[in-house]
Chains A and B, each alone.
Chain A
Amino acid sequence: MNKVIDAVQSDAGVQQALETALQQEFKEEWKDIAPLLSVRELNKFYAPGKGCGDINFDLYPGEVLGIVGESGSGKSTLLSCLSARLTPDSGNVIYNSERFGEMDLYACEESMRRVLMRSEWGIVHQHARDGLRMNVSAGANIGERLMAVGERHYGDIRAKAEEWLTAVEIDTGRIDDRPSQFSGGMQQRLQIARNLVTHPKLIFMDEPTGGLDVSVQAKLLDLLRNLVSRLGLSVIIVTHDLAVARLLAHRLMVMRRGQVVETGLTDQVLDDPQHPYTQLLVSSILQN
């Protein structure tokens, strides 16, 4: 311990000061913050075993929650219920809205839910055609959400559309092309741009990389990861791809037959799975 230590870097002082300040701020932040979304006793069954049940969790601002499980495990049903697109049989989904305050999604007016969908929320669908207007230009696809919240200046709308095309790495020269002329990966990125233009707080994603080539997947994942951390977004992402979950999610919910069988930190669930089903799921992926 009494050995001579090399001098620390010259900027270490600045660094230390910065970090101390940040630490304090950060601690205040995590302690008092209310959940963005609270789910209590949520049930939705189409038939016995088909749907999802007994769902309880809180999602905090800036958190990325992955919902994993095989096809038919109820994860997409759950996502629809959470994103106000499918009325559950019972239970509550409480959202802490910027403009409406705390609201119970299925106890409030439909008009409020629809306002959320085009302002504070974003939904990225697995199939771009479900989330895009295929018969209008890329620029109009992005601009629509702006116009939906009252933007009426063409020049501004176009400038913002260009900005977001750049952010999702689409050449601005394609702004007047229709999504049908885009590749699958570009369509997904356009869908993301369309959602992010109104600066949403919460994004729902349903298998965003499903059906894309592996190389295109990597690009999209990297883009998503960057946008999520840069914009401080909260995300609920449904995927059956554990590699996608590991890269994007802070924590995971593992679903099987409509029930949550395991939940926890992403790396804990994947590296030290406890439930037999999770162990099976994890051991089934090819290691690289």
Chain B
Amino acid sequence: MSTATGYNFAYLDEQSKRMIRRAILKGVAIPGYQVPFGGREMPLPHGWGTGGMQVTASVIGEADKLKVIDQGADDTTNAVSIRRFFAHTAGVETTEQTAEATLIQTRHRIPERPLQADQILIYQVPIPEPLRFIEPRESETRKMHALSEYGAMQVKLYEDVARFGHIATSYDYPVMVNNRYMMDPSPIPKFDNPKMSMMPALQLFGAGFEKRIYAVPPFTQVESLDFDDHPFEVQSWDEACAICGSDHSFLDEVITDDNGSKMFVCSDTDYCRERVDQGFVGTAADLSTSEQETEQ
């Protein structure tokens, strides 16, 4: 694909990229620590992933292969726009396949397929400060991070258990990185939290509106908060994916008609497609496919 003329490679100018790379390096050096950076304007409104895009623009190279997902899907508006943006401004190859991608920018999910050491996962982050819920003052939250004063964070979980009888927080679930910094994992489902820990890939987080970058280097411990008597648990479903039959992936509930009929399908579209290609099948696969399956 030809690159757009009149713009630098990957849209941002080289000085801005250098500044962002320095912030990224600092973030990698201090896992989980929020590094302020001079956020640039992107040709998209805040809230559309401008933080993640600036990180992507700063680390992307000509040889990279980019995948962009939104809620696990490659074909939603946001994912499509961002993928096309980089294809247009950097001329890089894009892909929908997790296995092939070198860079994956994501909103709200971590792919089901385990990531590898030569991959980078870039998260779009709306609110980077996990302590904001309990403490509105930035000066105070900085102090709390500096002094590892995280007891107040448990208050959020306490309120959950008091109100619902269990920890009801299901996404944006706070984690401790490398036993030092409390971190907001962005609004991924807590189902994905365990994947963050000891991940071989580099994880970078960009918050465009709040101008913060943070990182989890490869093979870093990431622990989800909990109580001794209410341990951390991920979501589980009674159903399997209606398309690929997976009983171990994060499922979306889809309403199929006006009568309230519904089915559950993998939120990670690439993973689901990959499984179907391998011959796995769910209950809602079309008649001919399911007949073939039963014959086997």
Q: Show the binding face of A for B, using Cβ within 8 Å.
A: 110-111, 114, 118, 133, 136-137, 139-140, 143-150, 152-155, 157-158, 175-176
Contact = CB atoms under 8 A, between A and B. Distances in A.
Nearest to B154: A147
Given A153-B227, A154-B229, A154-B230, A148 B152 contact: yes
Given A114-B147, A154-B227, A144 B162 contact: no
Contact of B155 (A111, A114, A147): A147
Contacts of A153: 227-229
Given A148-B149, A158-B162, A176-B162, A143 B229 contact: no
Given A133-B134, A176-B163, A140 B230 contact: no
Q: Which of A114, A118, A152 has the most chain B CB atoms inside 10 A of its CB?
A: A152
Given A133-B134, A152-B228, A154-B230, A144 B151 contact: yes
> Which of under 10, 10 to 19, 20 to 34, or 35 or more describes the interface residues of B?
10 to 19
Given A148-B149, A176-B163, A143 B230 contact: no
B99 interface: no
B227 A144 contact: no
Nearest to A149: B151
B161 A143 contact: no
Contacts of B230: 154
Contacts of A149: 151
B274 interface: no
A158 B163 CA distance: 12
Contacts of A150: 151
Contacts of A136: 134, 155, 159
B159 A140 contact: yes
B280 interface: no
Contacts of A140: 155, 158-159, 162
B229 A144 contact: no
B151 A157 contact: no
A158 B157 CA distance: 13
Contacts of A114: 143, 147, 149
Interface string B246-290: 000000000000000000000000000000000000000000000
Contacts of B227: 152-154
Interface in B158-203: 158-159, 161-163
Nearest to B157: A154
25 contacts: A110-B143, A110-B147, A114-B149, A133-B134, A136-B134, A140-B162, A143-B154, A143-B155, A144-B152, A144-B155, A146-B151, A147-B151, A147-B154, A147-B155, A148-B151, A148-B152, A149-B151, A150-B151, A152-B226, A154-B158, A154-B161, A154-B227, A154-B228, A158-B162, A176-B162
A143 B147 contact: no
A23 to B, nearest CB: 43
B229 A147 contact: no
Given A114-B147, A147-B152, A137 B159 contact: yes
